[in-house]
Amino acid sequence: MNNIELKDLVKITNKICGIDIENKTRKRYYVFCRTLYYGLARTYTTHCLNDIGKEIRKDHSTVLFALKNLERDVIKNKQHDLNIKWEKANIMLKQPSDITDELLNAQKMRSELIRLTEENNKRLEDLKKHKHIELSKKEERLLELFKMLSEEDKNFLILKAEATIKMKQDELRRKEEQNKRLEGRKVGFSSYLADAEV
């Protein structure tokens, strides 16, 4: 938790929303902005609901009700772009060490992704050279197209390909079973004819 005073959170919320949240009006935008303040106060301080409400002349039950609706009213609300205000406030209130940690994690993930991509490309080249695997023009084109797809599209194509392969395998298995049954019938019929001749 940061050492942030409630009065500072009120000022930050007023600045971000462009209004005075202590105004007694019940207009929707004011209610949403007060909800933003309650959420920030709950996230960045250890104050109880009663103290959070008292700061803007509201009682604890109002704060509690607003916090229950925080995600619906503020974080996911696109109509009043309060979700952007919520994110902006969170960025303003994060400690520099938090932001630095996030940047370092993002850089590590980026470096790891680059390393894995290079490793994957190297393996592909090794397979082509040392294993004498040559891709046809169609296969190379397919690989190029696959690389251009989003992860969602790649996953969809993989699932579709797996389903198609399973269908073909099932079809082959059914044909083999059918051929075995036919062979069994031929053998059975031949032995019946042989018995009849005797």
**Grouped pLDDT means (10 residues each) for the chain, 198 residues:** 82 91 92 91 92 95 91 64 79 67 68 78 73 66 78 80 83 85 66 58
* Number of other CB atoms surrounding residue 91 within 10 Å: 10
pLDDT score recorded for residue 125:
76
What confidence score (pLDDT) does residue 130 get? 64
Q: Measure the CA–CA gap between 97 and 113, rounded to whole angstroms.
A: 24
Question: pLDDT value at position 197?
Answer: 60
Give one DSSP letter per residue of 43-109, joined into a string: HH----HHHHHHTTT--HHHHHHHHHTHIIIIIS--TT-HHHHHHHHHHHHS-HHHHHHHHHHHHHH
Read off the pTM. 0.48
Beta carbons within 8 Å of 122's beta carbon, 6+ residues apart: none
List the Cα angle 76/79/85 in 5-degree steps.
60
Position 49, amino acid: L
> Could you give the C-alpha distances from 28 to 23, 66, 191, in angstroms and in order?
12, 12, 89
Q: Cβ-count burial of 147 within 10 angstroms (0-12 exposed, 13-18 middle, 19+ buried)?
A: exposed
In this predicted structure, what is the pLDDT of residue 149?
79
> Which residue has 């046809």 as its token pair?
136
SS3 state at 16: helix
